A and B are shown apart, each in its own frame.
Chain A
Amino acid sequence: MSPRIDLSVGEWRRVSPKYVVVVIASTVITGLVLSAASVFLWLVGGWTFGWVVLAAVVVVSIFALVIAPRRARSIGYRLRDDDLLFRRGIMFQRFVSVPYGRMQLIDINRGPVSRMLGLADLKFVTAAASTGVMVPGLPEPEAAELRDRLVELAESRRAGL
């Protein structure tokens, strides 16, 4: 038996395959910024261990790039009768269930890279700050449609706090 937890809910809806590009872009940018900082510390700041930091940054970035497609594929969501299920992560798996009646508001965000690819992120806010559910990388029309549908669902099941 697989040691990983899995909810027997059938097929998860995945985010757009193009979302991999966003993950790669952000990994590369983060890697470059951190490398630049460690090079600065090494050569200008005279910090002798700078090259160790640089090497660590490069290795971690390459590793992140390698698993980027799998990370993007691990994100999934599913609309059930009464709640939205969300999952993400390979090593650190996370499953969240948000009842529709608990959604206080739904945000659509677009980063620069996402916008170029026509993608949008959908963020769900409940009264609990720790909920933190964000479905990234949805094609823009789908995101708008999903938002409208979820707002409608949330409205029809509105409960107190």
Chain B
Amino acid sequence: MSAPHARGNGAASTLSQAERAAERYTDGEWHRLHPATPLLRGGIVFIAVFGFVLSNLRERLIGFFVGAPEYSGDPIDAIYSHGWEGWALLGVAVVLLLCLGAFYLSWRMHSFRITGDAVEVRSGILFRTQRKARLDRIQGINIVRPVIARLFGAAKLDISVAGHDANVQLAYLGSTLADGLRGDVLRLASGVRAAEAAASGAVGVLPGPDASESGAPAAVGAPATASRTAAVGDLVGRRVNEFLAPELDPNAAPPASVVKIPPLRLFGSLLLSGFTVFLLVVIAFLIWGASSGELWLLIVVLPGLIGSASFYIRRFTKSLRYSIAGTADGVRVGFGLLSTSNETLPPGRIHAVEVLQPLLWRPFGWWQIRIDTAGHSREKGAAGQPNTTMLPVGDAADVSRVLSLVLPGFATEEHRAVIEAGMVSRGRDDFTGSPRRGAWIRPFSWQRTGFRVVDDVILLRRGVVWRSLAIVPLARLQSLELQQGPVDAALRLADARFHTVSGPVRPRLAAIDAPTGVRLFEEVSARAVVAAAADRSHRWGSPSWELGTQGAGAPAPAVGPDHAAPASSRNQEEL
């Protein structure tokens, strides 16, 4: 379409085909979705229901409209015998045309655009809605392919931002386009603006081809429209990013999963889940009921029991194709056999991580990993659980691999011992544990209960029967609470709670020594502020973040635009 795009084909041979297809869509103009969208968004269901109702009620309908219920046989015969076939055909054609028109109109009115700082979708014929997601607030991008959409080669792009039901959905897009668009949106979100600002000053520093590339479009751009400049900015940002991280292009070679779940282990983990225990209790109850002559129990409960088989099958098939891999733009988790889903969580979007092990899994050394995120994709995650489960089941090696993806700054070789201690230790080690009097409140687990602050991360260790290790990056901590009830007070204990965004992980620690708790409160509240101020992960691709975390040796460019320097407002006094 435009000059930079056409030329981009030659120079940008590193771009995958999907990305090249997507590039056209990130120019800041409004675009339409896949033409089959209305059909996929419930059109098929509508037609099926309509056909079902029609085929069941056709005699009644004919009778209602024609007022001639006294005929025998097929209504087609009745139409034919009355000589109404012309009218009938016309009616069918009109209904079909109306449906097509409505579908076409809803497709026409449903459009999206991707600008330098937001993704927008507008839709609706009578009631117009418009949704906008700021790129630097994106919490995750999920590509979902339901079975029917897969047949059409279409996919849903679900962009979640923080908040309840705050998703922007691009449903549906072409399958390869969705992949490319995700890469592009993530690249834009990762700090193209910052990179652009840096590039305008640093273009001369870049190697020859890149410099001429970014210079030429400006010369060509006589009708310098906004879209053109956006495209140029995009291109420049892309070059800068490739320059900074040439080997990390996720689409050039899709990364292989770091964890494979053997089917046998998956089966075992399902068999040894809490649901099975519940099922056994129900069955025992049933047997007792049957033996004492209460046969009605059998009739009431048995259908539910049979239905539970579908629960196992669904979880099993979904988790069979579980995969997790690290990309330049965050962790990518995929699953699903028929309907597939593949979510990318950019860096710094994970607010808390929990590694846990139910008692039944302990003989096998299996663990599960759950996370808290601010945005929730509407689609279900691995194994039909909410997609806060990062690892449905895995051994200790899998856990360390997944942790190194979800907590890249922390779960390194250097902290391996700390994490291991948090997972399996029985207590009395480097973690700050509870005093002996904590046994009054935590009779079994008081020895294991403990915490440890390492760098900008706090680890909370709990539970002997259900082992759990919660890891909270302090840069994500929302607030902090210290509690003491009457029993705690009598025992000089306290209860610390770490408030993160809502999710399955609830980081808290009961029965810690009261003075230790006060020190913990002071230390963590101070460190959380520092960690949050130093955090740049919402623009993870911008050079400042790369510098901060990876320590590359280059002069630091200006800090991101929406970060006021905290030092300037430190001169506050008490009121």
Mark A residues whose CB is within 8 Å of B.
3-7, 13, 78-79, 81-83, 91-99, 101-102, 126-131, 133, 145-146, 149, 153, 155-161
Contacts and interface: CB of A to CB of B under 8 A. Distances in A.
A99 B517 contact: no
B521 A7 contact: yes
A157 B478 CA distance: 13
A96 B489 contact: no
B497 A130 contact: yes
A101 B532 contact: yes
21 contacts: A3-B489, A5-B494, A79-B574, A91-B489, A92-B483, A95-B483, A96-B479, A99-B529, A126-B479, A127-B501, A128-B499, A130-B497, A131-B478, A157-B569, A158-B562, A159-B475, A159-B532, A160-B136, A161-B137, A161-B351, A161-B476
Tell me what chain B mostly uses at the interface: helix, strand, loop, or mixed: mixed
A106 B475 CA distance: 22
A92 B501 contact: no
B21 interface: no
Interface residues of B, number: 53
What 7 A-B pairs come out closest when comparing CB atoms? A128-B478, A160-B538, A128-B499, A156-B569, A97-B525, A82-B529, A98-B479
Contact of A97 (B521, B532, B537, B569): B521
A97 to B, nearest CB: 4
Contact of B564 (A92, A102, A158): A158
Contacts of B483: 92-95
A93 to B, nearest CB: 5
A146 B486 contact: no
Nearest to A82: B529
Nearest to A149: B575
Contacts of A159: 475, 532-533, 535, 563
B490 A3 contact: yes
B469 interface: no
A5 B572 contact: no
Contact of A4 (B374, B484, B501): B484
Interface string B96-139: 00000000000000000000000000000000000000001101
B518 interface: yes
Contacts of B475: 159
Interface of B: 136-137, 139, 162, 348, 351, 374, 475-476, 478-486, 489-490, 492, 494, 497, 499-502, 506, 514-515, 517-518, 521-522, 525-526, 528-529, 532-533, 535, 537-538, 562-564, 566, 568-570, 572, 574-575
Given A83-B525, A83-B529, A102-B532, A97 B480 contact: yes
A83 B351 CA distance: 20
Nearest to A11: B574
B474 to A, nearest CB: 10
B525 A157 contact: no
A7 B570 contact: no
B484 A128 contact: no
B501 A7 contact: no
A145 to B, nearest CB: 8
Contact of B518 (A3, A6, A131): A6
B496 to A, nearest CB: 10
Nearest to B351: A161
Contacts of B506: 130
Contacts of B351: 161
Contacts of B490: 3
Contacts of B162: 127, 161
Nearest to B529: A82
Given A101-B529, A127-B501, 15 more contacts: A5-B518, A79-B574, A95-B481, A95-B482, A99-B532, A126-B478, A127-B162, A131-B499, A153-B572, A157-B566, A159-B475, A159-B535, A160-B535, A161-B351, A161-B501
Given A81-B570, A156-B568, A92 B486 contact: yes
A146 B574 CA distance: 11
Residue among B162, B492, B572 with max Cβ neighbours from chain A (10 Å): B572
B517 A5 contact: yes
A160 to B, nearest CB: 4
Contact of B528 (A92, A96, A99): A99
Contact of A127 (B478, B481, B533, B564): B478
